[in-house]
Chain A
């Protein structure tokens, strides 16, 4: 695939000020998003994955400040944008977002047609009949039958899955280059999940989008992602192609995540769980943030934060285990099942 970087994050630090206490939510993240790819950011709740992508749109809460680093997009450093006026040129038109809960992300008092048309008018400058025509086109694109009738209906007349289609239509109507999908299927039931993921894939191809998925569902990741970034405690600790992560993971946290997949457990045995809790980000983290929960932790992990070690040109991880001087630690045997089970499917 062509490695044209569309969005480049360097050493991004974000702090929240909560009643005088500092919460270090993002701790020096580096990430290059390639044009046209589907990248997934996975991690447990509180790992900072949502907050990270909100930085791209200036949607972090008011008490959050980017203290260091840069987000380069199109020659513009998004980390330096301050006023609403600057952000308006980015939001929607360059980077659009699909939110987690379709039941609440539409305005209940406006017809879905009006809500889609609002985005079209804003970003494509259409008016009157052409505007409606275009809005109807988007409704049809996202697979909603009978667009003309649906145009004048209100959100409460749609099911959850249909509403998420409307939300996707709104995002598309903004005509963005990057589409951030913040857990787009979490609130939907399983059968609908697959449909929505397929729809996003189709729309990605049709509108040449770069998609950034945020999810904690590794099943979703396997289904859609070209590349996977694993986040833990405000940092990306391992990044690689989907194959790299699922078949050749190197970070103990990634191993632990994969081991917890229900699909690879043995019937009748308890599911694997990661012991302990994520670190308290109010305090400064020393060494590898995962070390206290890591059965394979080295002494070094508690002292010094590991840098990225490159496994292959596409694959790198932050763990001292990859240092040439480190003892050999084999990944858990259970991960072999992923390879044989063919968890990654439907990947293009």
Chain B
């Protein structure tokens, strides 16, 4: 197990290395205007000096090497245009609490609503609750998120009697972004849990459990539920990340001073150091999410042995 973990961890690092390097190299292909806030007014000499000062005239492998060395010292460089001369890490540290808080709350809400919804739908398959749930899922999946996000913002703020924009000090203003972020995940969890549970219900071991004399509810929760949860658990850590990324739109919509809006802004301003810093963060969370998902899976499902083949039957 430990050996496997070390191997998996090593591979994750390699994946990250490749992702970041590719992003770094791609960003170096961007027009140089982005490095200077007042590019139009600068002379050629000023531009050359500026590029020299930023180290951008060096060959790309040298730049990449320097970037990695800095990164290992915890230095992501300084913002160029977004907030001049301010370290990227400092900007991210200011913003990240909002995204993490919103994302975590959204995940908790999605789990609390989506899991029972999927379970109930499977339990009462074909009854009104199932039909109602299916309607909800189809709606969320089929309608572009932007449409109902806007509706929630417009009517939610009226109902709750709060301003359109996010205000961290007002607890009420957290509600709408969290609900908006949760809806997609609620539908996702509900849909897949229902489907996996229905699959499990038709398996032979469920028939045996019933023949044993277990009541329908016991069979459902002691046997079916847990087994159906296995394929979902792998997705959980990644879905946390998706919620943070998915919040790009919602954070922009409510002007939340979080990470999501930030990426959009720095891309618009061609602030390369900022972009690569944020992408590094997202990539790291994504890779870790997958790794955690696999580990969770082995914990809950004894059939999956990650280390070398154990002695046979």
Contact = CB atoms under 8 A, between A and B. Distances in A.
Interface of A: 57, 59, 84, 88, 90-93, 96-97, 99, 101, 104-110, 118-119, 122-123, 154, 156-159, 162, 167, 170, 174
Contact of B214 (A90, A105, A118, A167): A118
Given A99-B204, A104-B204, A162 B313 contact: yes
Interface in B212-235: 212-216, 222-223, 226-227, 230
Nearest to A58: B210
A162 B301 CA distance: 21
Interface in B157-188: none
Contacts of A122: 212-214
Contacts of A105: 204-205, 207-208
Interface of B: 203-205, 207-216, 222-223, 226-227, 230, 300-303, 313
Contact of B302 (A59, A84, A92, A156): A156
Contacts of B203: 104
A107 B211 contact: no
A59 B207 CA distance: 8
A167 B208 contact: yes
A154 B227 CA distance: 14
A92 B207 contact: no
A108 B216 contact: no
Contact of B204 (A101, A123, A174): A101
Contacts of A96: 211-212
Best-buried of A84, A91, A107, A123 by chain B (most CB within 10 Å): A107
26 contacts: A59-B211, A84-B215, A84-B216, A90-B213, A91-B210, A91-B212, A92-B212, A92-B214, A96-B212, A97-B208, A99-B208, A99-B211, A105-B204, A105-B207, A106-B208, A107-B223, A108-B227, A109-B226, A109-B300, A109-B302, A109-B303, A118-B212, A156-B302, A162-B313, A170-B208, A174-B213
A108 B210 contact: no
A157 B313 contact: yes
A248 to B, nearest CB: 36
A57 B211 contact: yes
Contacts of A118: 212, 214, 222
Given A104-B205, A156-B303, A123 B213 contact: yes
Given A99-B204, A101-B204, A157-B313, A107 B302 contact: no
A90 B212 CA distance: 10
A107 B303 contact: no
Given A104-B204, A156-B302, A109 B230 contact: yes
Nearest to B302: A154
Query: Which residue of A104, A106, A109 has the most chain B CB atoms within 10 A of its CB atom?
Result: A109
A347 to B, nearest CB: 28
- Listed from nearest, the 4 A-B pairs whose CB atoms lie closest are A92-B213, A104-B204, A91-B213, A97-B211
B292 to A, nearest CB: 20
A4 to B, nearest CB: 24
Contacts of B212: 91-92, 96, 118-119, 122, 170, 174
A59 B210 CA distance: 8
Given A90-B213, A99-B207, A122-B214, 6 more contacts: A96-B212, A97-B211, A105-B204, A107-B223, A109-B227, A162-B313
Contacts of B222: 118
Nearest to B311: A157
